[in-house]
Amino acid sequence: MGLHVPYTSIPDMFLKRVASTPDRDAFGYPSGAAGSEKVVWLTWAQMGERARAVAAGLRGLGIGSEDRVAILANTRYEWIVADLGIMCAGAATTTVYPTTEADDATFILTDSGSKILIAEDARQAAKVEGASLPDLTHIILIEGEPKAGSSVPQMTLADLERAGAVALAADPELIKRTVDQIRPDQLATLIYTSGTTGRPKGVELLHAGWCWEGVAQGELGLLQPSDLQYLWLPLSHSFGKTLICSVVHVGMPTYVDGRVDKLVDNLARIQPTLMCAAPRVFEKVYNRSVTVAQAAGGAKAKIFAWAVRIGKQKVALEQAGKRVPLGLRVRYALATRLVFSKLQARLGGRIRLLVSGAAPLSREISEFFAAAGLPIMEGYGLTETSAGNFVNRPDHLRIGTVGQSLGDLECKLDTDGEILLRGTPVMRGYHNKPEDTAAAFTEDGFFRTGDIGELDAEGFLRITDRKKDLVKTSGGKYIAPSYIEGQFKAICPYTSQVVVIGQARNFCTMLITLDPDALGGWAASTPLAGKPYGEIAGSAEAKAMVEGYLKQLNQKLNRWETIKKFAILPRDLTIEDGEMTPSMKIKRKRVEVNFAGEIEKMYAGSVAEI
């Protein structure tokens, strides 16, 4: 039986939400100067008024059905106002990451044929200043003043809303008529895949797929009207967009703040019950917890280790479907009071649900959070499939998997283990790329994810690796790098990023970057205290520390997977240097190019065969 979706489009879903719960809080945001910030909330009625005004303003600028309007901004509530306004205008949103360089931003606007750019400020707008963009008619600034003499006429978002309000006063039914004409198979979003190689491709996603996502996630009980969500994820990414759709369907309040450096402080202040994140956030919390306990030493370190051991025993029994005996329950209650309650308080003290997506989460780190009473519901999806495809449920968590499929999504495995998906949330195709689109689908209409996985009898999916990331050594053995990298991140709490090298080589090596915060804490008790990151990372002491963790890793691996040599890099991998995608996936080929010297030193004197 198919999933029942009672909406024809995102604006249909949104306006029904506004009508249903007009006075309930919808989106909150920080307001005021640093140090005296307050949280301001907009109700659903206020969001509806602003989105309709944006929509009418866009219609006044000549925007029609499926015309593209780009947003180039950080995560903030105005991003959502703009996006919902674009939807209510019958147009389609082109998303551009705020970290996108000028050349790529120009390419995306050109390739998408975007007619209007909504930019966060003058700095973002400057990325396309002077570029040849024949389709672009206006630039709208979320904050700051329009630039006089700009190559493309500029106005503020407030100006756009005022113009829209005037249009609505003259024609109150303008947006209702527009929304009534939007079909489920109409283009809603053009998201350019950050891509681990080459130019990004525009993924065409339809209203039907996003509405399906909102209903499928809401019906699981993952999100509830009584929840308070903290949303900091990039809204340019499909993970952020799918959350907006589920929030609209469910009607839950969401605090929106993209400042990652404020995350820890704000969690304690906002006290959310729900937060979704990429694994890197959970890795940093894990690193911090472990390194602080180790640095304390003595009784504190022993109590921490004991509490984690007790918590993992409890989780292991629960995962096996067995009863937790009274004695263990008593010890776990003590472990919670002494240790885990402090970690829970650091995340605000009210977390009901954590969700991880966008990249693989280490099993060991997932077990640690479950032991601490903060189980992470790992999920899986792609930009091409509207982000939400598989997810664990609070009452049916299987650590080490990405859960079961949502709604009526079909999934099967190809002969080589590649995950194939078919259903409403799957893209229409790649924009202006019919050959790439054809290659992405099987003859019977399943999308080729490029991921290798395993499905168990109950439909739980385990991702083993990216098809194109599998490494084949010169000895003919296949190795899954992300599995080894995840193992090492769980073993070494000082790790930031790890890249396994081994393609056509006669042994495997590893490039490692260390977490500056954790490394600084480790160095505090050594002669390296207070030294800059590069000096600490390049020291003999750091190398010896990493070697110890590497020995532990190799004990868990098959002989042909073991890491024979490693290099600690002088800096972390960055988006700006092209080594990470904005959703924190590693661009392996770029890393190998940027650090070719370090790699060749590790293989100096060895014979590599093809």
> What helix, strand, coil percent values describe the chain, rounded to 5?
40, 20, 40
- pTM as predicted: 0.85
Output the pLDDT for position 456.
94
Q: At residue 390, does pLDDT exceed 90?
A: yes
Which residue's structure tokens are 């499909």?
238
pLDDT at 610: 27
Which has the minimum average pLDDT: 23-27, 219-223, 384-388, 452-456? 219-223
Residue 118 or 525, more confident: 118
Phi, psi of 69 (to 5 degrees): -125, 125
Other C-beta atoms closer than 10 Å to the C-beta of 156 total 15
Give all domains of the chain, ordered by start, each with its CATH number: 10-182+220-273 (3.40.50.980), 277-467 (3.40.50.12780), 470-603 (3.30.300.30)
Q: How many residues does the chain have?
A: 610
The pLDDT > 90 percentage for the chain reads: 72
How many CA atoms lie less than 13 Å away from 16 in the CB half-sphere?
16
In percent, how much of the chain has pLDDT > 70? 98
> Where residue 137 falls among pLDDT bands split at 50, 70, 90?
very high
Q: pLDDT tens digit string along 172-225?
A: 999 999 999 999 999 999 999 865 446 789 999 999 999 999 999 988 778 899
- For range 399-410, the mean pLDDT: 95
Residue 606 has pLDDT above 90, yes or no: no
Whole-number Cα distances in Å, 222 to 82, 240, 315, 370: 26, 15, 20, 17
* Separation in Å, CA 435 to CA 118, 201, 275: 31, 12, 38
Torsion, Cα of 159, 163, 168, 174 (10° steps): -100
User: With 90 as the cut, is the pLDDT of residue 558 above it?
Assistant: no
pLDDT band at 39 (very low <50, low <70, confident <90, very high): very high
Q: What is the average pLDDT across 308-330? A: 96
What per-residue string of b and e applies to 310-321 under the rule 16 or more CB within 10 Å gives b? Answer: bbbbbbeeeeee
* Among candidate residues 566, 565, 584, 564, the one with its CA nearest the CA of residue 574: 584
Residue 268 CB neighbour total at 10 angstroms: 12
Give the rounded distance of the alpha carbon of 226 from its chain centre: 23
Q: Hey, how many other C-beta atoms are within 10 angstroms of the C-beta on 412? A: 13
DSSP at 383:
G
- Residue among 255, 258, 231 at smallest CA distance from 242: 231
pLDDT at residue 607 above 50? no
pLDDT of residue 609: 35
166 alpha carbon, distance to own chain's centre: 38
Strand order in the sheet with 461-466: 410-413, 418-422, 447-455, 461-466
Is the per-residue pLDDT at 502 higher than 90?
A: no
273 alpha-carbon distance from chain centroid: 18
pLDDT, averaged across the chain: 92
C-beta separation of 354 from 377 below 8 A: yes
pLDDT of residue 1: 62
Residue 34: pLDDT over 80: no
Distance between CA 152 and CA 142 in Å, rounded? 16
Alpha helices in 320-385 (DSSP H): 326-335, 341-346, 363-371
Taking only the tens place, the pLDDT of each residue in 50-72 is 999 999 999 999 999 999 999 99
Q: Determine phi and psi for 544, rounding to 5 degrees.
A: -65, -40
Residue 401 structure tokens? 């998997």
Q: Which residue has the higher pLDDT, 295 or 50?
A: 50
Cβ(324)–Cβ(376) below 8 Å: no
Whether 56 and 175 have beta carbons less than 8 Å apart is answered as yes
Tell me, what's the pLDDT at 608?
A: 39
What pLDDT band is residue 560 in, cutting at 50, 70 and 90? confident
Separation CA 136–CA 114 (nearest Å):
6
